[in-house]
Structure 1
Amino acid sequence: MTITQLQYVLAVAENKNFTLAAEKCFVTQPTLSMQIQKLEEELGIQIFDRSKKPIQLTDVGVQIVEQAKNIVNESGRIKDIVDQQKGYIGGEFKIGIIPTIMPTLLPMFMSNFIKKYPKVNLIIEEHTTEEIIRLIKNGQLDAAIAATPLNEDSIKEIVLYYEPFVAYVPENMDAYNKKEFEVEDLEHNIDNILLLQDGHCFRHNILNLCKAKGLSNENHFQIESGSFETLIKLADEGLGMTLLPYLHTLDMSERAKQKLRQFKEPRPSREVSLIYSKKELKLHIIEALKATIAGVVKGAITFQDVKITSPLQQKK
């Protein structure tokens, strides 16, 4: 049994296809198939049920894959230990970022990080918070940037910044005439608030903010979208108002900024953190990321008096 064979097994389990798995592993399909077959012969069992399309794991295969993840992940930590000892900041580093943070934060720090740490092969992936938690636990991500707190015992969180919510109010709404918002003001516009679709933690931030004030339940929100840009366009059409994260408002046109309304202090906000497994060994790269992001965000976000809302979906 070899680490390479286990890596091939994991690739097939993930892609449910030998050809795709071979491409991901940069080997030919016959080579990958032969190595997996040799492992199955050595163990005296079938890991995959090849009669099904797509390929499925057998019952024992499910258990083997779970153990293989641990073995492959732990084997990779040997090099991490050596790099840490040498103070070497380089190598592959996979980081996940949630969709409501990726478009604004990534351009702010990516260029600076690459220039300062050219030996780090930073692989950026966009995932929902739920996916990020799973991938970190499985060792498929080294770290992630997400809204916190997540209340996961196996995951460590380093707060990067606090990002206030900002109301975007079209001119046809009475709320447009207010210079500054209070959370209670949402009550008068609760049936006209446009939200992101389910699956976005920013949606849960807003729902939890409203629920904390006893303002609403999810049935009030009728129009939903997958992006802030669409929500803004819907608001411009007079279909309602929406709430945006502060960084998303920085590059808006001056005309659009006239529709923005800040909340009174303490401003409802989300906590954005760099998160990673407590078993993670690439702490030198994590520290480099933290320092780089903190350096660029420091000038953009200077809010101190904030009130954090949870990104977790509350049970009904």
Structure 2
Amino acid sequence: MNLRDLKYLLAVSEYKNFTKAADYCATTQPTLSNQIRKLENFLDVEIFERSTHFVRVTPIGQRIIDAAKRVVENSNLIVQIAHNSNRIEPSKLKFGSFPSLGNFIPLQYVAILKQQFEQLKIQYLEDDVDALVDLLTRQEIDFALLPFPEMHPLLEGVKLFDDPFYVAVPIDHAYASSTNLQLSDLANQQLLFLIEDQSHFRELLNQFDTSFSLSHQAHEDDFRALNFESLRIMVKQGLGLAIIPGTVVNWDDSEVRYVPLGSPAISWPIGIYWSKQHAKPELLEEICTVLQSNLDTKTDIR
């Protein structure tokens, strides 16, 4: 019994046809059938019921197939670990972040890492949260900033900071003089969102006020933008108010007033994540320590 035989077994289980299974495994039907029969003889059980019209898995065969899946999956994991260990260059790390966090914090982190790890070449990319999670699990990037916690079984992460939310309002708006705003204050306001974040922000804010989503779910005419600069321009033009994270607030913009959201402040935690199967976990843990220790002095989150 070997991995090839188990893969033949899984192919027959999937296709319920020996000819199709043989094509999938790039072998001949007689070869595959012979190996399956040898495996059944070795185990002294019948894994498949065969007839001219169907192939059916027996009850004991199903238990064997379930166990075979685990063996093949673990063998693939062993190959992946070895492959990643060979391909990861200790002098290069790929770092990802998502658009709604803005560029200031991620690029500042890149600068910190380049200063602390002069031998490393840091490559930075920006993508949406789901895409980053996929890249992390496939180990196509080494680590990423994500909303915390990201409950993915293949990822490991630590919290870095809390990013408070602000409401961007035009300077001539009635709310411009407010010291803070509640979600209930926004019930009848036209809200602006990033296309990427609209559903995510509403789900997040609904955790703080369950009536928030209900009051805005019917607003099909909500304006949406591709980036925060577009949102700011739309706010200036009086098209609506925008809920934005503190990391992208432009404090030098005299035409927009940024009012804290919530009392106590409503915020979302941001963390750094990497694959549990990463070949250099010690290096990533060291990077986390560096970023955490530089947070208070290197970031301006008001």
Q: Same fold (TM over 0.5)?
A: yes
Q: Distance in 1 between matches of 2:294 and 2:202?
A: 26
Task: Tell me if 1:239 matches 2:235.
Answer: no
- Preserved CA contact (<8 Å) 2:85 2:279: no
- Preserved CA contact (<8 Å) 1:109 1:292: no
SS at match of 2:100: coil
Structure 1 residue 294, shift from structure 2 partner:
2.1
Task: Tell me if 1:74 matches 2:81.
Answer: yes
Q: 1:69 to 1:145 in 2, by over 3 A?
A: farther
SS at match of 1:162: strand
Task: Tell me if 1:213 matches 2:223.
Answer: no
Partner of 2:129: 129
- Preserved CA contact (<8 Å) 1:73 1:139: no
Unaligned runs of 5+ in 1: 1-42, 46-65, 84-88, 304-316
Q: Distance in 1 between matches of 2:236 and 2:75?
A: 52
SS at match of 1:164: strand
Find the partner of 2:277 among 279, 282, 285. 279
Q: Distance in 1 between matches of 2:199 and 2:246?
A: 15
Give the number of aligned pairs.
230
TM-score normalised by L of structure 1: 0.63
Partner of 1:174: 174
Q: 1:254 to 1:95 in 2, by over 3 A?
A: closer
For 1:288, give the aligned amino acid: E
Q: Distance in 1 between matches of 2:193 and 2:240?
A: 10
> Structure 1 vs Structure 2: percent identity of aligned residues?
16
- Preserved CA contact (<8 Å) 2:170 2:176: yes
Structure 1 residue 98, shift from structure 2 partner:
1.0
For 1:173, give the aligned amino acid: H
Unaligned runs of 5+ in 2: 1-25, 29-72
Q: 1:193 to 1:217 in 2, by over 3 A?
A: closer
CA deviation map 1:73-128 (0-9, x unaligned) = 32245459xx9xxxxx9422222211122512123222221122122222222111
For 2:205, give the aligned amino acid: L
TM-score normalised by L of structure 2: 0.66
Partner of 2:191: 193
- Preserved CA contact (<8 Å) 1:96 1:145: yes
Structure 1 residue 159, shift from structure 2 partner:
0.5
Partner of 1:252: 251
SS at match of 2:270: strand
SS at match of 2:266: strand
For 2:234, give the aligned amino acid: L
Structure 1 residue 68, shift from structure 2 partner:
11
Structure 1 residue 233, shift from structure 2 partner:
0.2
Q: Distance in 2 between matches of 1:170 and 1:223?
A: 16
CA deviation map 1:230-249 (0-9, x unaligned) = 01100000111101111212
- Preserved CA contact (<8 Å) 1:207 1:217: no
Q: 1:275 to 1:176 in 2, by over 3 A?
A: same
Q: CA RMSD in A?
A: 3.1
